[in-house]
Structure 1
Amino acid sequence: MPARRSIPIQPVASDDEWHIAGIMVYAHPAALERVRIAIAAMTGTEIHAATETGKLVVTVEAPTSQAIVAQLTCLHQLEGVISATLVYQHNEDAAAMYEEIGDVSHAS
């Protein structure tokens, strides 16, 4: 399998946006391990769940929507991938990604 180039994601200034996307990838079951390895090697991607039948739940984080689209295109083009579908995309100011979230317990 030829090496795939990752899309470099550079740190962003605190006034820029940060994008997070949820993508459903469906791969040929026989190619599942090869697809998992390729996705894991891509910058900004993470596999959260996978089935033996070839379905993978992947998130992508990137500084721009164009980078999300580029990563989605790369996922589509991986050998063994049948489809890669954008399920969800969200963006926030990059500064918000560094805000500490307190542990709020509703237990009495």
Structure 2
Amino acid sequence: MPARRSIPITPVASGDEWHIAGIMVYAHPASLDRVQAAIAAMTGVEIHAVSDIGKLVVTAEAPTSQAIVAQLTCLHQLEGVISATLVYQHNEDAAAMYEEIGDASHAT
């Protein structure tokens, strides 16, 4: 399996964005292992849940909305994939990726 590559998220200038998308992928159950391996090898894409009937919950992260579209298109084109549906998309100022988020469950 190819090594996973990371996408640098260091903002270059004020106004840079970071995009996060939730995607539901539906694959032929017989192709599920092959589809999972292909998705795992994609840059900026992560599998969070898989069902035996071929449904996968995936997130994609990228510096532009065009890159998110490219990742979604790539998911659609994987052999064994029936559909890949964008469920959620959010963008944030890239500098916010460096802000620490407190854990409310540990509040006093």
State the distance in 2 between where 1:20 and 1:49 align.
17
Task: Give deviations 1:15-74, integer Å, cap 9, x for gaps.
Answer: 200000000000000000000000000000000001000000000000000000000000
State the distance in 2 between where 1:46 and 1:18 align.
16
SS of the counterpart of 1:53? coil
Deviation above 2 Å: which 4+ runs of structure 1?
A: 6-12, 103-108
State the distance in 2 between where 1:77 and 1:69 align.
12
Equivalent residue for 1:13?
11
| Residue 28 of structure 1 pairs with residue 28 of structure 2 | yes
Name the CA shift for 1:94/1:29 in 2 (closer, same or farther; >3 Å): same
SS of the counterpart of 1:79? coil
Task: Count matched residues.
Answer: 105
| Residue 96 of structure 1 pairs with residue 99 of structure 2 | no
TM-score, normalisation: structure 2: 0.86
TM-score, normalisation: structure 1: 0.86
Amino acid paired to 1:73: T
Deviation at residue 107 of structure 1 after TM alignment: 6.8
Equivalent residue for 1:61?
61
State the distance in 2 between where 1:30 and 1:51 align.
12
State whether residues 9 and 94 of structure 2, in contact with CA within 8 Å, keep that contact through their aligned partners in structure 1. Answer: no
